[in-house]
Amino acid sequence: MEMAISFHNSYLKAPSINPNPKLPLPKQLFGLNLSSLSSFNSKTTCLKFRSRNLTKPVKCSVSQATQPATEKKSQLMRRRDIRNIAIVAHVDHGKTTLVDAMLKQSKVFRDNQFVQERVMDSNDLERERGITILSKNTSITYKDTKINIIDTPGHSDFGGEVERILNMVDGVLLVVDSVEGPMPQTRFVLKKALEFGLAVVVVVNKIDRPSARPDFVINSTFELFIELNATDEQCDFQVIYASGIKGKAGLSPDNLAEDLGPLFESIIRCIPGPRIDKDGALQMLATNIEYDEHKGRIAIGRLHAGVLQRGMEVRVCTSEDSCRYARISELFVYEKFSRIPAERVEAGDICAVCGIEDIQIGETIADKTSGKPLPAIKVEEPTVKMAFSINTSPFVGREGKYVTSRNLRDRLYRELERNLAMRVEDGETADTFIVSGRGTLHITILIENMRREGYEFMVGPPKVINKKIDDKLLEPYEIATVEVPEEHMGAVVELLGKRRGQMIDMQGVGSEGTTFLKYKIPTRGLLGLRNAILTASRGTAILNTIFDSYGPWAGDIITRDQGSLVAFEDGSSSSYALASSQERGQMFIGPGMEVYKGQIVGIHQRPGDLSLNVCKKKAATNIRSNKEQTVVLDTPLDYSLDDCIEYIQEDELVEVTPSSIRMCKNPKFAAAKKSR
């Protein structure tokens, strides 16, 4: 038996002082008089006993004493056979990998079944980028208890997905990396979970990393709870140490069980069952929407009260005044890794409902006679906007299927139905639309999806959404954290300083010679920063950002020092022309590519734009040459959609088609310059 004594703030509460009542408690320990400990307040003293025997059931550290009183007060009962949990964390802390291990160990798949990695990331874009974009439901069964699991995105740009699904759950698994500790998105998701009053189980993941520092991570997480004004009970969180990729978990970092048993036990014991009104009037909040070609719109949500049956007549409410009637054609519940048809669903479970054609996220499916709507879902406001317009380049219609402003408008407004954190407004002209989102990545994912669906359009550079309060101009600020090797730290600090960043914290991380920098920086300064930081650190830096607050205007920020190389005629690029053009800067195109007047073909090595002829052919003469001159061309830069959006400035556009991404000068700005 290993024993550790620690004295904490008034937030940690001890389990029983004597773990085994049959054994007598020693009178003294390390010179400490234990007989006097009975007079101590348990909230000021913490004695922890860690058992090497992990088969022993987990004792939840969350205080259970307050729960019965709350239940009597609200006259609601709890279901003991269901747990609804969300797995939340910062990006790359191992949420989806942990869900994989939970699914495998609960025998969701056959022993001989091939299961791909990160099985919850089912979207093509999620697999390519290695990130979770949409929250997804699944369920497992452990000791006769059904556990509904929701996997959530880790990027701050998709924070709207996290805010939305927290309505469906009663507790969260907060996954924290054993080296990095709490990161910006950890703070955001934890803040939201605490606001909803959810139970939290902290999972220190990747405990098998060589430079793991679990004590530092637990202390940092505890400090974060206090910063976010958590209650005493919430601060007394259960900690589980795990390695998601190996499928192991335990109550001590040095002694993991052979499976995730301790994690499942802590979910059952520390996260309460859903509080329901079993005999009350039907209430279900539509938290997510999916679309099926055969079944139409499918509303997903948790049943808060009553019983939902297939074929039932219901009332769909947006507010007290506006309600309409509908009929449930099909009903599904989540079982293992699929949706299973059900005849009836009782309060507390998460289900999917078909048959309501026009249902929107945030609407309530209620009892036909006495149903009342639940409070609407609120998400935080967007901070970045981009202008979408129809394609006006000479190559319009060559590659895309949907090219008109009507197609573009319909698709953008359709996105609002399931993307709550996004806003779409009509622009200055009939063929321009302003799309606002949580960040550049949020809008870039929409652009990439539209491109794959066959849309062809143009987008302008990202701009921040400013506010004016009491005649003062305010702009959004973000907290940026950068992990960078020590040898590249100087270049990164200089770069962030130029972008009006203010350093908040700097510390060494682990034994790998990495420095952790924390900055408060205007959102404007982050536009185009990712590529610049990667260049300055030779690809070794990791940048993470999250919205902090609105603050005073920071002044002018120069985000790009170099101009663009612009083609000044239509045609096909030639090796002969590119050989002389590449001396002026780095090229985006190779020989034999179609270009048009105004297209950006490279980066100028000096400030200001330069027009080039990249279609020039070598003049043919009747003089015989001894040999043809060989031309050595540099490899052109291959810019992705994200890179192009980061690169462009005020007078430039990105042309997006299903097969190619090009950049060009905005003809409206060129016309305005001529008129001057």
Range from 7-16, 347-356, 612-621 that averages highest in pLDDT? 347-356
384-392: average pLDDT: 91
Question: Would you say residue 67 has pLDDT above 60?
Answer: no
Q: In this predicted structure, what is the pLDDT of residue 138?
A: 81
**Percent helix, strand and coil across the chain, each to the nearest 5:** 25, 30, 45
Beta-bridge partner residues of 333: 340, 351
Q: CA-CA distance, 111 to 106, in Å (whole number)?
A: 11
Residue indicated by tokens 């300083």: 497
Report the pLDDT averaged over residues 499-513.
Answer: 79
Separation of CA 136 from chain center:
13
285 near 165, Cβ under 8 Å? no
Burial string for 87-112 (b: 16+ CB within 10 Å, else e) reads: bbbbbbbbbbbbbbbbbbbbebeeee
Confidence check: pLDDT of 112 > 80: no
Q: Which residues of 171-196 are buried (b: 16+ CB within 10 A; e: fewer)?
A: bbbbbbbbbbbbbbbbbbbbebbbee
Q: Can you tell me the distance from the alpha carbon of 524 to that of 560, in angstroms, rounded to the nearest whole number?
A: 12
Say whether pLDDT at 127 is over 80.
no
Nearest to 546 by CA among 631, 439, 472, 390: 439
**pLDDT score for 656:** 92
536 C-beta neighbours (distance < 10 Å), count: 20
Least confident of 308-317, 628-637, 640-649: 628-637
- Tell me, what amino acid is at 388? F
Per-residue DSSP letters for 40-65? S-TTT-EEEEE-S-TTSPP---S--T
Please tell me what DSSP assigns to residue 255: B
- How many helices (H) does the chain have, and how many strands (E)? 16, 42
The 10 Å Cβ neighbour count of residue 366 is: 24
Q: Are 300 and 349 in contact (CB under 8 A)?
A: no
Q: Kindly state the average pLDDT of the residues 263-276.
A: 87
CA distance 525 to 478: 10
For the chain, the maximum distance between any two Cα atoms, rounded to a whole number of angstroms, is: 110
Of the chain, the percentage scoring pLDDT greater than 70 comes to 81
Q: What is the pLDDT of residue 232?
A: 85
Please state the rounded mean pLDDT for residues 254-282.
85
Paired with 367 in beta bridges are: 314
Interatomic CA distance for residues 108 and 111, integer angstroms: 9
Q: Which tokens hold the place of 196?
A: 């909803």
The pLDDT score that the predictor gives to residue 122 is 54
Indicate the range of 11-15, 103-107, 305-309, 540-544 predicted with least confidence: 11-15
d(CA 228, CA 188): 10
Q: Of 252, 253, 182, 255, whose CA–CA distance to 221 is shortest? A: 182
pLDDT at site 512: 66
Q: Report the C-alpha gap between 551 and 556 in whole angstroms.
A: 15
Structure tokens at 11: 């937030």
Neighbours of 655 (CB within 10 A): 22
Q: What is the pLDDT of residues 524-535, one digit of tens each?
A: 888 878 878 888
Residues ≥6 apart with Cβ < 8 Å to 554: 475, 500, 522, 524, 525
Q: CA-to-CA distance for 147 and 612, rounded, in angstroms?
A: 63
Do residues 172 and 83 make contact, with C-beta atoms less than 8 angstroms apart? no
50 pLDDT more than 80: no
Helix (H, G, I), strand (E, B) or coil at 94: coil
Per the listing, tokens 């097969």 go with: 659
314: which 2 tokens? Answer: 């219901």
Direct distance between the N- and C-terminal alpha carbons of the chain, in angstroms, rounded to an integer: 83
- For the stretch 80-99, pLDDT in tens is 888 888 888 887 787 778 88
Predicted confidence (pLDDT) at residue 49 exceeds the cutoff of 80 = no
The confidence score (pLDDT) of residue 624 equals 62
Predicted pLDDT of residue 417:
77
* Tokens (6 digits) for 544: 């993470």
DSSP class of 345: E
Instruction: Please state the pTM of the whole predicted model.
Output: 0.73
